Amino acid sequence: MRIIALSDLHGNEFSPALLREIRVREPEAIVFLGDFTSNGSVLEAKRKLETLTKLSATMFIPGNCDNKEIGSLNINKAFPLHLSAMNFKGYWFAGHGGSNKTPFSTPLEYRESELKNNLEKLAKQAPRIDVFLTHAPPYKSCDKVFSGFSAGSAAIRRFLLEVQPRVCLCGHIHEGKGICKLKETVVVNPGPCFAGNFAVIELGEKVSVKLHSVD
């Protein structure tokens, strides 16, 4: 399965170059990892999501800068995965939107204890998790800000070490763009798509990941 991962649009428009790159790669699924908006409306997020569903089936979660209601948008070919799991073409996907606490009091933040409880419930919804979508990265994995401080979630890190999904796709920390590994889980932060960043994940017997950027 070919998946294209995007995150952190923050109210900008998808660039024509980025949309062309997605189209020509013919993904079976697009995943959007949150922050469609910067404290924007559900209508704004809906319009952005509809742009993606014209290209492929799209799984999505809200980011910490999104209104919580964005996580339950009902659109054809779009699958909300905030606090839920689903089987898509034989692979189990699950997701948790929002983030751990930040200094900025954004709309959708959780205490680490809340994340822990939510993730424990989420793990019971599927026999396994192949692809885990999270806005916040796990602590000490693709989560360093410019100062070098790790700003990811400890609860998400523990969850990944215990459940060991094949892939964890995350965003949130723009400068954390990269590919990391937690035991057998490949952690991917594609970088913010408002700057043209995206990741291509090939999921089969093995996991292959490539990071890309367009002008």
Give me the domain span that covers residue 158: 2-213
Which band of pLDDT confidence, cut at 50, 70 and 90, is reported for residue 205?
very high
Determine the Cα–Cα distance for residues 150 and 147; give it in Å rounded to an integer. Answer: 9
Alpha-helical runs (H) found in 54-111: none
Query: How many domains does the chain contain in total?
Result: 1
Contacts of 43 (CB under 8 A, 6+ apart): none
Which band of pLDDT confidence, cut at 50, 70 and 90, is reported for residue 16?
very high
Backbone dihedral angles phi then psi of residue 16, each to the nearest 5 degrees: -55, -35
Judged against a pLDDT cut of 90, whether residue 73 lies above it is answered with yes
Kind and range of the H or E run holding 182:
strand 178-182
The CATH number linked to 195 is 3.60.21.10
> Distance from CA of residue 22 to its chain's centroid?
16
pLDDT digits (tens, 9 = 90+) for 86-134: 999 999 999 999 999 999 999 999 999 999 999 999 999 999 999 999 9
Answering whether pTM is above 0.85, one says yes
CA 145-169-99 angle, 5° bins: 55
Which band of pLDDT confidence, cut at 50, 70 and 90, is reported for residue 215?
confident
